[in-house]
Amino acid sequence: MSASYDTVKVGLVSISDRASTGVYEDKGLPALQDWLGRALRNPLQYETRLIADDEALISQTLIELVDLGCALVLTTGGTGPAPRDVTPEATLAIADKVMPGFGEQMRQISLQFVPTAILSRQVAVIRGSSLIINLPGQPKAIAQTLEGLKDAEGQQQVPGIFAAVPYCVDLIGGPYLQTDEALCKAFRPKGAERTSAG
């Protein structure tokens, strides 16, 4: 029997006043799609949105994506301390549960590169049976926080946050996410692992 993987609907939201009005090209959505396409073996269906830094609009968009059945919703942009950075507030406003470990780990990873990582305010929450994670705005930082840091031999030095995502999605009743272990090995307790035949 060949391996069968659950189809996963993923919501991707790039939040930027300037990109949403065409002042410059959005790089967040392509970066997210590229990384997920390499990291996950599941068939993926994307719901993408490019919106302005508006708190009510962000909250409304997140609710819409959860209601569409997105098991995972990733946002990029709007997590700094500037007045227009309101992504965390909009995310927390629609949360059933807050998952602080994701934001803590993202800052730990980013601190390996820049001291200003402590200014980032990314949060992760659960709404219904969906996991919503705020990611950084820069494509390189997106990949680093998802994947973690490896040494020259390819050994994991700092775990990326995505290693914990599949089991979290399991626990809230979502589809079974299969990762490409060469890029990102998902961690699950032994009893929670499925055989590759699904």
Of 163, 57, 77, residue with least CA distance to 120: 77
* Domain interval for residue 181: 8-192
For residues 143 and 135, give the distance between their C-alpha atoms in angstroms, rounded to a whole number. Answer: 10
Report yes or no on 2 lying in a domain: no
Report yes or no on 96 lying in a domain: yes
Confidence of residue 197 (pLDDT cuts 50, 70, 90): very low
- How many helices and strands (H and E) does the chain possess? 7, 8
27-55 per-position pLDDT tens digit: 999 999 999 999 999 999 999 999 999 99
> Which H/E stretch holds residue 51?
strand 44-51
Give residue 55's pLDDT: 98
Report yes or no on 198 lying in a domain: no
Report yes or no on 3 lying in a domain: no
Report yes or no on 173 lying in a domain: yes
Instruction: Using the predicted structure, report yes or no on whether residue 1 has a pLDDT greater than 70.
Output: no
Of 176, 124, 113, 118, residue with least CA distance to 148: 113
Give residue 196's pLDDT: 53
Average pLDDT of the chain to the nearest whole number = 93
Domains in the chain: how many in total? 1
CATH number at residue 183: 3.40.980.10
State the average pLDDT over residues 140-160: 87
Report yes or no on 64 lying in a domain: yes
* Higher pLDDT among residues 195 and 138, named by residue: 138
> Which amino acid, residue 69?
G
Report yes or no on 197 lying in a domain: no
Count how many residues are written for the chain: 198
Of 91, 158, 97, 148, residue with least CA distance to 123: 91
